[in-house]
Amino acid sequence: MSLGEAVCTVSDALKGPAALPEEIQDMADFEASPRENEVAVAYNDTCLARSSGCFSCVERCEPEAIELIQGTGIRINQQICTGCGICQYVCPVTPKAVRMQVRTATQTPSAYHAESQQRGE
Ligand code: SF4
Ligand code: SF4
């Protein structure tokens, strides 16, 4: 690196932090509002609850749709899930262990009730 390049590097560093990438700024503005066409789905392969005490999504889920199963991960009650997305936002792992997906016919509250009745619950 030449002296000139070094001066430029130091100068850039002194200007302060660069603007955040657009994607990160969007996440900072995240608002947990219900989305009726979306539902949270668990991907327990990467869930920290399998081996440690992560409660991030459970604590933030207002309708208490997420159940923690120690050693396994999480289970989501898709009847209660409002599709707000805060669980995906706070999940600290990559790839996310809880992800928002388009709600299908079998994930609607009425389908959930039908399945529950079949199970005798
Ligand atoms: S999307 Fe919202 S309501 Fe649904 S499980 Fe996640 S935090 Fe709970
Ligand atoms: S926040 Fe992510 S890693 Fe933590 S318990 Fe929920 S799904 Fe698992």
Class of domain 33-118: alpha beta
Q: What is the per-residue pLDDT for 11? A: 46
Q: What is the per-residue pLDDT for 110? A: 66
Residue-wise pLDDT tens digits, 23-54 = 444 456 678 899 999 999 999 999 999 988 89
Q: What is the per-residue pLDDT for 29? A: 67
Q: What is the per-residue pLDDT for 118? A: 78
Q: Decide: 34 in ligand 1 pocket, CB within 6 A.
A: no
Q: Cβ distance 20 to 28 under 8 Å?
A: yes
Distance between CA atoms of 92 and 56, rounded to whole angstroms? 8
pTM metric for this prediction: 0.71
Among 41, 45, 46, 48, name the best residue to mutate to test ligand 2's pocket (greatest count of ligand atoms within 8 A of Cβ).
Answer: 48
Domain boundaries, the chain: 33-118
> pLDDT in tens for each of the 121 residues of the chain?
555 555 444 445 555 454 544 444 445 667 889 999 999 999 999 999 998 889 999 999 999 999 999 899 999 999 999 999 999 999 999 999 999 999 987 776 666 667 767 767 6
Distance between CA atoms of 84 and 36, rounded to whole angstroms? 9
For residue 83, which ligand has an atom nearest its CA? 1
Atom of ligand 1 nearest to the CA of 88: 6
Q: Where are the beta strands (DSSP E) in the chain?
A: 38-42, 66-69, 73-76, 98-102
